Amino acid sequence: MSKKVLVIMGGFSSEREVSLVSGRGIVEALRSEGYTVFEHDLTDAAELVETIKREKIDVVFNALHGNWGEDGEIQGLLDMLQIPYTHSGLKASAVGMDKHLTKLVCESINIKTPCGEKKTYGQFCNEGTKVVMPYVIKPVCDGSSVGVYIIRKNDDLKQVSFDDDVEILIEKYIEGQELTVAVLKDKALTVTEMRPRQGFYDYNAKYSDGVTEHIIPAQIPQKAFDEALLSAEKLHKTLGCKTVSRCDFRYNAQDGVVLLEINTAPGMTPLSLVPEQYKYCGGTYSELCKILVEDAACRKI
C-alpha cells in the first residue's frame, strides 16, 4: 500500500503564491511516483490537524515558503502530532530563517558574511547606521528577497518601508556574481550563477520566466567554486538541516565568497534552483520529491 502524503502549500506568508506553484508541481510529481497524494492549502491550523487525522496521513510534504512554513512554526506543530515531514526540523528552520542568528553561526565556523548590524526599523530611522553606503536593508526573518532594498544614495531610503518594530539587517552591499549551492543529504550538488537581465536577483527575478539567466556550473575560479561548495555543506551540517537546503552567496575577487543566507525549505517551482541543480547532476524532479518523502521524519518523543 502506497504512503499517504499530504502536501501543504499556500499559507499566510508573503510568498503564498510561489508556495502554491511549488505545491502543485510536487503533487503531480508524487502521484507519478505512485504515492497517494492529498493537497492542502493551509489557512487554518485546526483544519490541517483534522485532515491529517481523517485521511490517516503518513507523511506531510512541506511546500510552504516564508514565515510559518520555514521558521519552525509548522515544524513544531507536526513534531507534536508525531507526523513525519519533509525538510529540516524546528531548530534548523528557526535559526536558518533568522538571518542574524545565521550570521552568528557563520562567524563561529569561519564562513564570511557581509559586515553589518541589526536594529528595529524605528531605531534605524532615529539613529541611522554605521554601515557605509552602498548597503542592503532587509528583514531579519523573511525569504525570497522580500523587502530587500539596496541603498546607494540617500534618496534610495525613500522607498524603504517597514513597521517600526520590525527587525532589520543593515549590511554592506557585496558587488559581484550571485551564486547558489544546493545541498542534498549532506552533499553539495554544484554552484549556479544567477544573472538577472536587469537589477538584482529579487523576488521578481527569482520567479519570473526569462528574467534571470542561470549559468550552471558557475563561471568562477575553481578555488571560489570549491569554497562555496564547502561552506554550504558546513552550514547545512552545523545547523542540523535535514535532506535539502540551499545557500546563497556573492562572489568577487576582493571580498571572496560571502554567504548571504541559507534556505532550509528551498523553492520547488519549475524555475527553482534545487530541482535545476539536481537535474544537472542527472536526476529528475519527481525523483527529488521522492527522496524528500522517503527521508521525512519528526522529532521523537
Q: What average pLDDT does this structure show over 141-152?
A: 79
- Is 267 a known active-site residue? yes
Residue 97, C-alpha cell as written in the block = 530563517
CA distance 63 to 6: 10
Residue partners of 108: CB distance under 8 A and separation at least 6: none
- Convert 46-59 to b/e letters by CB count within 10 Å (16 or more is b): eebeebbeeeebbb
- Is 135 a known active-site residue? no
- Is 145 a known active-site residue? no
What value does the mean pLDDT of the chain take? 92
- Is 246 a known active-site residue? yes
From 10, 11, 13, 15, the catalytic residue: 15
Q: What average pLDDT does this structure show over 270-296?
A: 95
Residue 194, C-alpha cell as written in the block = 544567477
Question: pLDDT-based confidence at 198, cuts 50/70/90?
Answer: low
Q: What average pLDDT does this structure show over 254-272?
A: 93
Statement: residue 201 has pLDDT above 60:
no
- Is 144 a known active-site residue? yes
Domains delineated in the chain: 4-87+288-294 (3.40.50.20), 95-112+175-284 (3.30.470.20), 116-172 (3.30.1490.20)
Sign of the Cα torsion 224, 267, 113, 146 reads positive
Half-sphere exposure of 227 (CA within 13 A, CB side): 18
From 85, 135, 201, 207, the catalytic residue: 207
From 71, 98, 193, 248, the catalytic residue: 248
Helices and strands counted in the chain (H then E)? 10, 12
Statement: residue 210 has pLDDT above 70:
no
From 13, 67, 144, 231, the catalytic residue: 144
From 16, 93, 121, 246, the catalytic residue: 246
Lowest mean pLDDT, pick from 13-17, 19-23, 127-131, 242-246: 13-17
- Is 278 a known active-site residue? no
From 263, 272, 278, 285, the catalytic residue: 263
Residue 226, C-alpha cell as written in the block = 570549491
Q: What average pLDDT does this structure show over 199-216?
A: 61
Residue 248, C-alpha cell as written in the block = 546563497
Instruction: Quote the Cα angle for 117-162-200, to 5°.
Output: 70
Q: What average pLDDT does this structure show over 169-196?
A: 96
- Is 207 a known active-site residue? yes
CA distance 161 to 131: 19
